[in-house]
């Protein structure tokens, strides 16, 4: 495994990436993050009751396709970033935390989206019914927690050094 | 550095040559030869000392030049100097985890700001047209909170070393783009805000609103790009 990663890190492709492709790729990664977490966050907040007056939940769900656009941007850019310095990430606990938060965030997002399918148009109007089911609210809180944690883990990951990781490969 | 080493080598060589002369002159008497060896050792020690003294002098000179440069910078830009000397600046400079901590908040603030602004802009452009615009626009305070978080954390970054940012082209472009984004938002407020109530579920926004929203998305993506390039400029 480590041998393969070392080969990847020493490949001409990784060299090309590290030479000048890093800034544009990290930029795309930030844009994808803003799109994914920003729009998922708006959906979550609506489910939690912020701005609920007259804002139909079924209509808010239409933003999910843009959320997925952000996800694919970040999956592709993330794989490219990983291939530049695999040994910075592969043994890094923060990286594992970040990936765990992302996977959890995706699963919870999908569950939330499914549970909102049963939410009819009556939730669009003001009044007691405008508030979403308790299950959806719990999922929305968890989703926010996962994505914020993923961002924080990612930021601390950028500042973790090779020495902290203990791998010493390469 | 190299010249210092070469100078040290030539000094040592001449000291040895001098001592060799002493040995030659005193040939025949053992105590005199021993004294000559002693002289060689002291000459070498003296030359080591002089190299150390030379290096110390050069270091002091470099330090003095650096301090003079710092003083000149401080005199030329007193506001930047004052910002650097604030407790906030000192904290970000000296704390190991201040940067990732502040950056976490900067990214969360960015997500709040771009999430709300992006959602409104996308709806205006026709994505998720089933959303009525007026209630969606009520998320706007969240964007202002995000902007506030980023203004505060951004000032913290700036204070850690104002010279890094003030003369950085990417940073200047980023500030200009944020100003343009603000003016663009003002255009939205003055130009189409009163029409928002009419753009209910499924109703298309006006061409003017679409132009403003498209410009808004482009500017904010530009802000992200310029922000990321600060570190590479």
**For chain B, which residues make up each domain, given as ranges?**
2-76, 85-232
- How far is residue A16's CA from residue A20's CA, in Å, rounded to a whole number? 7
The nearest CA of chain A is from the CA of B83 a distance in Å of: 24
* A163 contact partners, CB below 8 Å, separation of at least 6: none
- How far is residue B162's CA from residue B10's CA, in Å, rounded to a whole number? 46
Mean pLDDT of A44-56: 84
Task: Compute the CA torsion angle B123, B126, B132, B138 (nearest 10 deg).
Answer: 10
Instruction: Name residue, tokens 């977490």.
Output: A37
B111: nearest CB among A26, A41, A156: A41
| Contact (CB, 8 A) for A118 and A138 | no
A133 vs A39 pLDDT, higher one: A39
pLDDT at B111: 97
- Of A61-75, B19-33, B91-105, B135-149, the poorest mean pLDDT is in B19-33
- B222 touches A: beta carbon within 8 Å: no
Q: Please give the share of chain B, as a percent, with pLDDT higher than 90.
A: 67
B100: nearest CB among A37, A66, A155: A155
Chain B residues within 8 A of A62 when measuring between CB atoms: 127-128, 130-131
Q: Which residue of B has its CA nearest to A19?
A: B232
pLDDT in tens, B193-212: 989 999 988 899 999 999 99
Buried b (16+ CB within 10 A) or exposed e, B18-31: ebeebeeeeeeeee
- A125 touches B: beta carbon within 8 Å: no
pLDDT in tens, A60-77: 889 999 999 999 999 999
- How far is residue B61's CA from residue B208's CA, in Å, rounded to a whole number? 63
pLDDT in tens, B216-229: 999 999 999 999 99
A10 vs A1 pLDDT, higher one: A10
Mean pLDDT of A114-142: 70
Q: CB B118 to CB A39 under 8 A?
A: yes
- Of B48-52, B60-64, B188-192, the poorest mean pLDDT is in B48-52
Instruction: Name residue, tokens 């004294």.
Output: B35
- Share the mean pLDDT of chain B: 85
* B174 contact partners, CB below 8 Å, separation of at least 6: B223, B226, B227, B230
- How far is residue B97's CA from residue B103's CA, in Å, rounded to a whole number? 10
A17 vs A69 pLDDT, higher one: A69
Tokens of B24: 């030659």
- Nearest CA to B122 out of A38, A130, A30 is that of A38
Q: CB A38 to CB B111 under 8 A?
A: yes
pLDDT score of B72 more than 80? yes
SS3 A125: coil
Specify the pTM.
0.79
pLDDT in tens, B42-57: 666 667 778 999 999 9
- Nearest CA to B122 out of B223, B228, B221 is that of B221
- How far is residue B146's CA from residue A42's CA, in Å, rounded to a whole number? 13
Q: CB A42 to CB B116 under 8 A?
A: yes
Instruction: Name residue, tokens 């003016």.
Output: B183
- B198 touches A: beta carbon within 8 Å: no
- How far is residue A117's CA from residue A47's CA, in Å, rounded to a whole number? 12
Q: Which residue of B has its CA nearest to A149?
A: B104
Mean pLDDT of B32-44: 60
Q: Domain locations in chain A?
A: 2-162
């Amino acid at each position: 495994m480590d041998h393969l990663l070392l080969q990847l890190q020493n490949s001409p492709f990784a060299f090309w990436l590290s030479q000048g492709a890093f800034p544009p790729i990290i930029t795309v990664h930030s844009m994808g993050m803003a799109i994914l977490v920003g729009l998922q966050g708006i959906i979550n907040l609506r489910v939690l009751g912020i701005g609920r007056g007259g804002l139909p939940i079924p209509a808010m769900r239409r933003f999910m396709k843009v959320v997925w656009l952000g996800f694919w941007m970040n999956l592709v850019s993330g794989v490219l970033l990983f291939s530049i310095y695999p040994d910075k990430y592969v043994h890094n606990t923060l990286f594992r935390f970040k990936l765990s938060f992302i996977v959890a965030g995706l699963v919870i997002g999908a569950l939330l989206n499914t549970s909102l399918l049963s939410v009819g148009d009556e939730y669009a109007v003001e009044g007691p019914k405008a508030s979403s089911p308790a299950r959806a609210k719990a999922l929305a809180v968890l989703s926010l927690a996962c994505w914020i944690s993923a961002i924080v883990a990612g930021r601390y990951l950028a500042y973790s050094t090779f020495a902290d990781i203990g791998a010493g490969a390469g | 550095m190299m010249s210092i080493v070469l100078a040290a080598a030539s000094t040592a060589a001449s000291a040895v040559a001098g001592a060799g002369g002493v040995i030659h002159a005193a040939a025949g008497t053992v105590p005199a030869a021993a004294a000559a060896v002693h002289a060689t050792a002291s000459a070498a020690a003296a030359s080591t000392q002089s190299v150390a003294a030379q290096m110390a002098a050069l270091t002091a000179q470099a330090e003095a030049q650096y301090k003079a440069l710092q003083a000149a910078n401080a005199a030329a830009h007193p506001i930047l100097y004052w910002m650097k000397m604030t407790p906030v600046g000192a904290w970000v400079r000296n704390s190991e985890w201040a940067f990732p901590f502040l950056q976490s908040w900067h990214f969360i603030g960015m997500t709040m700001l771009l999430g709300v602004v992006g959602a409104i802009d996308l709806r205006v452009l026709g994505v998720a047209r089933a959303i009525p615009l007026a209630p969606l626009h009520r998320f706007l305070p969240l964007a202002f909170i995000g902007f506030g978080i980023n203004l505060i954390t951004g000032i913290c970054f700036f204070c850690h070393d104002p010279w890094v940012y003030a003369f950085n082209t990417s940073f200047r472009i980023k500030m200009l783009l944020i100003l343009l984004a603000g003016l663009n938002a003002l255009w939205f407020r003055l130009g189409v805000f009163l029409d928002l109530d009419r753009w209910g579920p499924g109703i298309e926004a006006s061409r003017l609103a679409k132009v403003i929203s498209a410009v808004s998305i482009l500017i904010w993506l530009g802000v992200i790009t310029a922000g990321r390039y600060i570190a590479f400029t």
